[in-house]
Chain A
Amino acid sequence: MIQTEVRSWDRQRTARHERLGRAASLAKGKQVQASDATALLEALLQPGDRVCLEGDNQKQADLLARALAAADPARVHDLHIVQSGIVLPEHLEIFERGIARKLDFSYSGPQGASIARALNNGRIELGAIHTYIELFARYYMDLTPHVALIAAVQADAQGNLYTGPNTEDTPTIVEATAFKSGIVVAQVNRIVDRLPRVDIPGDQVDFIIEADRPFYVEPLFTRDPASITETQILMAMMAIKGIYAEYGVKRLNHGIGFGTAAIELLLPTFAERLGLKGKIATHWALNPHPTLIPAIESGWVEQIHCFGSEVGMDAYMAARPDIYFTGRDGTLRSNRMMCQNAGLYACDMFIGSTLQIDLDGNSSTVTPDRIAGFGGAPNMGADAHGRRHASDSWLKAGREASDGNIAMTRGRKLVVQIVETFGAGMAPTFVERLDSVALAEKLQLELVPVMIYGDDVTHIVTEEGIANLLLCRTREEREQAIRGVAGYTEVGRGRDRAVVQKLRERRVIRRPEDLGLNPLDATRHLLAARSIRDLVGWSKDLYRPPSKFRNW
């Protein structure tokens, strides 16, 4: 007979009930007053807890962030924060005050400099910087939150939640927390009798707090067509003719730079004249870019699934349910986990910009004093080795990369970097060594932060031309192909002209003239919309841009 130790198998559930018991006096049903939010968190949280304080790419549980930052560090301390976005000042304040100690995150845009400082002075113990789905995956493996503090638009008395167009990370966070005996606290803009739709079922939500003001959402994906330059238009023309048309790319994701915004605005004009309508860019994993409105209205786009929403786009998307995923209430349903998965496994191309590219094609958005994190780009911009369905563009890219073993050729995702050779302040985009290498040394990071590894990159588009890295056979060839489109940067001027000329003959490098493009056509007249106001017109007044983009 085997002796087994008597153990209980429901310690987490017991702990959950103890926490709920401590907080019970603060709640009426599931409702807690905003003024009691800090007291609620002090009652629920225990030192060392893993906490997700919902900070997404866009929406922020700002009331709960303020409440946590105001907690007594004698009672609440050494928390392990596991959230995708470090965006608000309060997200750093909890580390400065000792309420939290350890951090696992994905993206830190506006707080990038503060995070680097806090790491440097030892205020933050860094777990890792993840991609979105990588962190979400760890919610289900070894970083399951004990407590999730989330944001929704509306709740009813039972705790059912309506997350509205900015659903983003919420279902993923709640699923991991609620089904592992954790506690879910939601701040909502309003408590109502009847929800427009249920995004999160009430039995997964323990407490609801009506906030004094709506949660904050940052417009991140609005690019004013007025700021698009003729260089970016020329690059967009090259990308459309040299890559989209060449590979017949139908399923794709775009980054948020001006180069890709220019591509979106050239679909109904330049690409239409090339006869490409219906042959490229029909299915998208994409945030609601206002600059895609002219292509949608011109009948280019079949459908779009969104990571999140975008300020001002809600009414337009609600009026285009054939294009966007919408709920029974009519408004957008976004979901970052699902859309990242679509981008990873069902897109044939990612195209986006970056700040630095080295001689191996590795890219980074890290500057010497900022840790911006990764967000979703590394997953969008990576070949998914688990993919097993074919498409023409995927197979063509795979054939180009293969050394001749055609029988067992696998496909390749097209991963395209579209960059100008010089960035703001004449900073060169092409460098011998990424700034992230120095940053990793300074902060003693185990991994150098790399946004997209060079071996995943298939093409680099600059104003000088397109480098097709699939066709390079050696590391030396790749380096010369990169130098060959690096313009007048030091890296570009350091090219071996004879090798670059040979690469051009092999179509590894293609110049605008090799693609039959006339530089005189690269004018702003080619843009389907030349201002935010034009976009409003294309949308039949359904797009309502935020005031900072209104200048008429």
Chain B
Amino acid sequence: MEQFTIQAEAASRCGGTRPSAIIGVVASGNLEILLERIEGTGCAIEVATSATGFRPIWEAVIADFVQRTSPGGLRISINDGGARPDTVSLRLMQGVRLISEVP
């Protein structure tokens, strides 16, 4: 088990009015993501993962995600069961779409 937080600065605040969103499942090879609103345009991503030693890949995945979707003003908590980077990326994208949708 490894835990760390990655801070990123997004270009703008994430749209929509939903206060929070949750997507994914806690399972082997999968992950659960909770998104919550915070002040400002920063994005705080807290990762708890069962696979150790992949922090550089997490940082690369998150840097691209922040650039592609601009998830400013979000705290994102990830409960990871050893998902592959593509699954992480897809879940992050899905999470941002979900919280920015009109409820």
Contact = CB atoms under 8 A, between A and B. Distances in A.
Contacts of A421: 84-86
A519 B86 contact: no
A230 B25 CA distance: 12
Interface string A209-246: 00000000000000000000111001000000000000
Interface string B86-103: 110110011001100000
A488 interface: yes
A229 B87 contact: yes
B86 A464 contact: yes
Nearest to B101: A520
Given A231-B90, A234-B90, A520 B85 contact: no
Contacts of A407: none
Given A422-B85, A426-B84, A520-B98, A230 B60 contact: no
Contacts of A420: 84, 86
B11 interface: no
A65 B57 CA distance: 50
A42 interface: no
A426 B90 CA distance: 17
Contact of B90 (A230, A488, A493): A230
B98 A231 contact: no
A465 B94 CA distance: 16
A234 B85 CA distance: 14
Given A229-B87, A420-B86, A463-B86, A519 B60 contact: no
Interface string A401-422: 0000000000000000000111
Contacts of A462: 86
B61 interface: yes
A230 B91 CA distance: 9
A522 interface: yes
Interface residues of A, number: 19
Contacts of A520: 94, 97-98
Contacts of B61: 488
Contacts of B98: 520
Contacts of A463: 86, 89-90
B102 to A, nearest CB: 13
Nearest to B58: A488
Given A488-B57, A488-B61, A493-B60, A422 B93 contact: no
Interface string B23-62: 0000000000000000000000000000000000100110
B36 to A, nearest CB: 19
Contacts, number: 43
B90 A422 contact: no
A231 B68 CA distance: 18
A520 to B, nearest CB: 5
Nearest to B84: A422
A518 interface: yes
B86 to A, nearest CB: 4
Given A420-B84, A421-B85, A421-B86, A488 B60 contact: yes
A487 interface: yes
A230 B94 CA distance: 11
A243 to B, nearest CB: 19
B58 to A, nearest CB: 9
A488 B60 CA distance: 7
A231 B86 contact: yes
A519 B90 contact: yes
B15 to A, nearest CB: 14
Contact of B93 (A229, A487, A493, A519): A519
B48 to A, nearest CB: 18
Contacts of A522: 90, 94
Contacts of A230: 87, 90
Nearest to A511: B68
3 smallest A-B Cβ distances: which pairs? A463-B86, A488-B85, A519-B93
Given A420-B86, A421-B85, 20 more contacts: A229-B87, A231-B84, A231-B87, A234-B90, A421-B86, A422-B84, A422-B86, A463-B86, A463-B90, A464-B86, A464-B89, A487-B85, A487-B89, A488-B60, A488-B86, A493-B60, A513-B68, A518-B97, A519-B93, A520-B98
Interface of A: 229-231, 234, 420-422, 426, 462-464, 487-488, 493, 513, 518-520, 522
26 contacts: A229-B87, A230-B87, A230-B90, A231-B86, A231-B87, A231-B90, A420-B84, A421-B85, A422-B84, A422-B86, A462-B86, A463-B86, A463-B89, A464-B86, A487-B85, A487-B89, A488-B57, A488-B60, A488-B61, A488-B86, A513-B68, A518-B97, A519-B90, A519-B93, A519-B97, A520-B98
